[in-house]
């Protein structure tokens, strides 16, 4: 009996050792990606190139296959075209879900018009099916959070699209504060704000109040004032969704008045204010190229807006955006393809969903281009990414194969 017990103990130990070895091997997986064309977005394209990703999930080498030797033990993947992992510069995915039911629609709370204290990370679901769906199209990074459906709807965050827990996926827990100037930021009749002037006045009042917060030592802690203080100290920007030209001008005036950082979002009529936006040094996250043109806000949007702003030297990114119907998100790859057909070069179109998006979001030191030391985020395609018949055949996030789908 004792021998049988001892044998069982040794069997358990052996199993545990094997399990540890298997886990260690998975954790230290090293990947080599061969690409007939590699769009590094950090220099010229590489023909017949190789990208090596180390066990730490970082890019350790990139260059022509003639110069990069693939070490033994690396898992080798091949693709026609390799790009940096795509970045969705503004989304509500993870707070809004694919089921379009109340339990997975956490992107806006309409109980009050101004709620900057609402944190995206407290509502984000990293295992939401829409996150997985976007990952299959090469999206590796999301700037997501509270929707542009109230004057101040809450905070945004930046996350990777692969991982089980919020701590695992989060890059920036509080990226911006979402503000909406225009029709979508107004409250129903009889409630405040009911007009554009009232909305601007309420926003100004909050910023003025925050200027005095903390001057008295005995003040109780105020979550709203704490986040506004960070805005006033230029630690985080306001993400101001404004489509009409006069709403864009209001955003620029408030930014100048309080010396705060802002990022324009949506900006359907931005092409009417190119000089003003450039002079203010404000980047723009353009509405999805194929956004519905209609209603009072977006009737004058243009397929060519991204190209016109880019030509003027304004930093531009594209987004999947927010619309109130299913499936709750667009795919930035397709939006960039349309921009490439309407004035942007293929390289500039790809920049709007890679390196330029990363610059606007303040994460270009980690993502947006294929460079040594950056995160091992790649998208693999069986043809030109902007060609309708091409497919994303693999997505790598932090050096892990996160999606291996052939359609």
Go through 48-70 and write b for each residue having 16 or more CB atoms within 10 A of its CB, e for each that does not.
ebbbbbbeebbbbbbeebeebeb
Per-residue pLDDT at 323: 81
Cβ partners under 8 Å of residue 25, min gap 6: none
Measured between alpha carbons, how far is 70 from 57 in angstroms, rounded to an integer? 16
Q: pLDDT per residue over 307-355, tens digit each?
A: 999 999 999 999 999 887 766 799 999 999 999 999 999 999 999 999 9
Measured between alpha carbons, how far is 224 from 243 in angstroms, rounded to an integer? 26
Using CA atoms, how far residue 130 sits from 154, 327, 398, in Å, is 21, 8, 19
CB 329 within 8 A of CB 136: no
Cβ partners under 8 Å of residue 73, min gap 6: 30
> Which residue ranges of the chain lie beneath pLDDT 70?
1-28, 326-327, 405-407
Per-residue pLDDT at 214: 83
**Please, what are the domains in the chain?**
29-83+369-407 (2.30.40.10), 86-367 (3.20.20.140)
Per-residue pLDDT at 233: 97
Helix (H, G, I), strand (E, B) or coil at 397: strand
């Amino acid at each position: 009996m004792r021998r049988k017990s001892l044998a069982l103990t040794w069997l358990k130990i052996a199993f545990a050792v094997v399990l540890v070895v298997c886990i260690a091997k998975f954790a230290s997986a090293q990947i080599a990606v061969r690409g007939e064309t590699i769009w590094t977005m950090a220099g010229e394209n590489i023909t017949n190139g190789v990208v090596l990703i180390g066990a730490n999930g970082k890019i350790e080498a990139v260059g022509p296959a003639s110069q990069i030797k693939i070490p033994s033990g690396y898992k080798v993947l091949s693709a026609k075209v390799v790009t940096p992992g795509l970045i969705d510069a503004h989304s509500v995915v993870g707070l809004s879900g694919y089921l379009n039911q109340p339990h997975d629609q956490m992107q806006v709370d309409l109980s009050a018009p101004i709620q900057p204290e609402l944190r995206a990370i407290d509502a984000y679901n990293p295992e939401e099916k829409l996150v997985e769906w976007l990952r299959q199209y090469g999206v590796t990074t999301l700037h997501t959070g509270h929707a542009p459906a109230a004057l101040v709807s809450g905070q945004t965050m930046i996350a990777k699209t692969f991982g089980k827990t919020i701590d695992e996926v989060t890059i920036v827990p509080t990226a911006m504060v979402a503000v909406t100037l225009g029709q979508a930021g107004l409250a129903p009749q009889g409630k405040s704000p009911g007009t554009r002037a009232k909305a601007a006045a309420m926003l100004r009042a909050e910023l003025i109040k925050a200027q005095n917060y903390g001057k008295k030592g005995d003040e109780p802690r105020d979550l709203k004032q704490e986040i506004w203080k960070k805005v006033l100290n230029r630690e985080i920007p306001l993400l101001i969704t404004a489509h009409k030209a006069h709403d864009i001008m209001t955003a620029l005036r408030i930014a100048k008045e309080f010396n705060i950082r802002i990022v324009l979002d949506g900006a359907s009529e931005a092409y009417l204010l190119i000089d003003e936006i450039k002079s203010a040094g404000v980047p723009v996250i353009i509405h999805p190229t194929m956004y519905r043109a209609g209603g009072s806000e977006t009737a004058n949007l243009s397929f060519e807006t991204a190209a016109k702003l880019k030509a003027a030297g304004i930093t531009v990114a594209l987004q999947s955006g927010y619309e109130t119907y299913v499936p709750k998100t667009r795919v930035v790859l397709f939006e960039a393809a349309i921009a490439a057909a309407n004035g942007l070069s293929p390289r500039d179109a790809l920049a709007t969903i890679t390196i330029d998006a990363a610059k606007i979001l303040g994460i270009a030191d980690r993502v947006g281009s294929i460079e040594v030391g950056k995160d091992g985020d790649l998208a693999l395609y069986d043809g030109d990414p902007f060609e309708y018949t091409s497919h994303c055949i693999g997505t790598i996030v932090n050096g892990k194969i996160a999606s291996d789908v052939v359609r």
